[in-house]
Structure 1
């Protein structure tokens, strides 16, 4: 595992750190907000589109970021990203202002131990934030990412979720209506996320796609769905286990490494693992190939998952609900 000092040194020596245009989905707190701080500290002229629900947190963060770097340009877009229509609105707003973006950084998500909690679009909120919302954002902003790549700009999609924790995909229950639980839904969403990013990476070799597992991180909002007092108990346990987990600040430093390091540039030559997507672990290292992911790809599950996502988007956006 690269030490924090090694990562910090690599970050300080990274090239092309004059400007960056980044869309931070879920950027008002936790890993997203901490990564925003690293970006405005490290880049001379960063432009950040920070998307989230918490307007007061966004206001405080914006003031902090502008104090760190007076040349930073910060735009907050208030949105509930569990709704696909909202994701589309956010992406349209960005596309109206930018012809290209360098980074799409995805962190929005919660864990839900209480059973399905459907949005008005018929998608479970946790499932949507882990999978549908993220993939929709990538699809929508891919033209802007490709424009950056065409102009020799670093072009990366970084989704902070659960690489290496891919689990069983219920092939006859992709909507997760009959087998829903925290574990089953999250493991399926993670596996589907890897497969969908792989699908996109194969078709867009000029853009770098990273699926990242941050490990246990203190100071995030991932436990929001647990409610009190369980959320508080978990927070105390995380503090007691501090020597064995990571602060949100260190996690953000490691995310900056993934954003800037040459090791994670787009796989134009097909080098690296057998996958086109980078699966990155909590130690900032590329994970070994997964036999389970390879089996899914060999069995055609990647294409099946992609078709399911497209069908779900079509149903939701036509005024119906996912079924």
Structure 2
């Protein structure tokens, strides 16, 4: 495991790069906001599109980022990313302003222990945030990421979720209508996330795809779905467990390492040493060992099945034939 000092040293060597155009989905708090701070401190002229729900949090963060780096260009897009149509609108807004982006960084999500909580689009909110909305954004913005790669930029998609925690996929219940629980939905959503990123990575070898597990991180809003008093109890337990958890600042430093380090550049068409095109990265910033479960899913054709289900879900939610 690279120590924090070694991560910081590597980051300092990558510091003062001239520019980056980044879309930060879920960027107004927690890991997303902390990573924004790392980016504006490390790049001379960063341009960030920060997507989130809270305008007040975004205003505070924008002032903070501009104080760190007066050359930073920060744009806030207010959106509830649990709705697929909103993810489309965000991507369209970015595409109208940029022909290329260097980084798509995805952190939006909640944990829901209370059972299905469907959005107006008929998808469970937690499931949509952890899977559908993220994959839709990646697919929509791929042309801009490819354009950046064509120009020689280290074009990357980084989704901070749960690599290494892939679970059972209920192949007869991909919509999670009948087997829903926090554990079941998380395990299936994480596994589907890895498979869909792998599908996209195989078709786009010049873009780097990372599925990252941050580990237990203090100072995030991931528990907001628990409500009080359980949320408060968990907060106290996190404080007591501080020696075994990671601060959001350290987590963000590790994300910057993943954004800038050559070890995570696109694999191209040569995947020697790995059966996967996607990087699965653990909380220690190391590439995870090959997963027999993921390999089995791919061998059994589940990757293609998941992708087809995802596309049919988008068509059902948004209207058949609707393309970004």
Runs of 4+ in 1 over 3 A off after TM superposition: none
Counterpart position of 1:264: 264
Counterpart position of 1:164: 164
15 and 69 in structure 1: CA distance in 2 versus 1, 3 angstrom threshold: closer
- In the alignment, structure 1 residue 104 sits paired with structure 2 residue 108: no
Counterpart position of 1:286: 287
CA shift digits 1:44-67 (9 cap, x unpaired): 000000000011000000000000
Deviation (angstroms), 1:273: 1.9
CA shift digits 1:263-311 (9 cap, x unpaired): 0000012234210000000000000000000000000000000000000
| Secondary structure of residue in 2 paired with 1:279 | strand
Counterpart position of 2:52: 52
CA shift digits 1:3-42 (9 cap, x unpaired): 0000000011127821000000000000000000000000
Counting only pairs closer than 5 Å after superposition, residues 1-323 of structure 1 correspond to structure 2 as 1-14=1-14, 17-268=17-268, 269-318=270-319
Query: Matched residues in 2 for 1:12 and 1:198: separation?
Result: 31
| Secondary structure of residue in 2 paired with 1:188 | helix
- Which ranges in structure 1 are unaligned for 5 or more consecutive residues? none
Query: Matched residues in 2 for 1:272 and 1:226: separation?
Result: 41
Any conservation in 1 of the 2:58–2:76 contact (CA below 8 Å)?
yes
| Secondary structure of residue in 2 paired with 1:23 | strand
The count of residues paired between Structure 1 and Structure 2 equals 319
CA shift digits 1:104-138 (9 cap, x unpaired): 00000000000000000000000000000000000
Query: Matched residues in 2 for 1:243 and 1:194: separation?
Result: 29
Q: Could you state the TM-score of these two structures normalised by the residue count of structure 2?
A: 0.97
Any conservation in 1 of the 2:14–2:42 contact (CA below 8 Å)?
no
15 and 253 in structure 1: CA distance in 2 versus 1, 3 angstrom threshold: closer
Q: Could you state the TM-score of these two structures normalised by the residue count of structure 1?
A: 0.98
Q: How large is the RMSD of aligned CA atoms in angstroms?
A: 0.9
Query: Matched residues in 2 for 1:23 and 1:50: separation?
Result: 6
